[in-house]
């Protein structure tokens, strides 16, 4: 009987620990960041926060049935909002650039990224062993292309 209590107690302790960790990480999000998020996304009620870097926080949330992420600096400055899109939703101008400048590459992931500069389409692409990260503006202009090596490191292209 004593073994059953230990077996039942261990998963409960792990769950409690995870819940406390999630609560603690949410509590450490600066108030300016939380306030900026609420101002930008007032309809969102449930948010998961992660520390993106020393100076940046990332919020993950659902809105209109889609999964989003939004990044904010420590002072509350909004940097970017992203969400995945289906390949069928890629605009014609962007598709034309993909077909002409990146033929042979397969789209692994497609996202829309919104910043203060506007919208861009971001792609993770593969051609055999080679992986690329690509950004294309709404008019179809290729604005960023970077090779990603086997360890996930990015090489400037």
Q: What is the pLDDT of residues 68-119, one digit of tens each?
A: 999 999 999 999 999 999 999 999 999 999 999 999 999 999 999 999 999 9
Say yes or no to pLDDT of 9 above 90: no
- Alpha-carbon distance 49 to 117, whole Å? 24
Residue with tokens 């014609």: 92
Note the pLDDT of residue 149: 78
**Distance of alpha carbon 136 from alpha carbon 14, whole angstroms:** 44
Q: Which residues are 131's β-sheet partners? A: 126, 148
- State the Cα–Cα distance between residues 135 and 51, nearest whole angstrom: 24
For Cα atoms 59, 83, 116, give the angle at the middle one, nearest 5 degrees. 75
Residue 20: the pLDDT is: 40
How confident is residue 21, by pLDDT bands cut at 50, 70 and 90? Answer: very low
The pTM of the full predicted model, rounded to 2 decimals, is 0.74
């Amino acid at each position: 009987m004593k073994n059953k209590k230990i077996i039942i107690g261990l998963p409960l302790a792990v769950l409690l620990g995870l819940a406390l960790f999630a609560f603690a990480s949410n509590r450490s999000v600066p108030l300016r960041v939380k306030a900026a998020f609420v101002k930008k996304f007032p309809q969102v009620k449930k948010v998961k926060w992660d520390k993106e870097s020393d100076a940046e926080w990332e919020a993950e949330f659902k809105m209109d049935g889609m999964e989003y992420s939004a990044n904010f600096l420590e002072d509350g400055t909004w940097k970017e909002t992203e969400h995945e899109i289906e390949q069928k939703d890629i605009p014609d101008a962007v598709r034309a650039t993909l077909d002409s400048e990146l033929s042979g590459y397969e789209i692994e992931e497609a996202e829309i990224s919104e910043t203060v500069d506007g919208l861009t389409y971001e792609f993770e692409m593969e051609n055999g062993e080679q992986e690329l990260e690509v950004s294309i503006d709404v008019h179809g202009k290729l604005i960023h292309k970077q090779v990603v090596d086997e360890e996930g490191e990015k090489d400037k292209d």
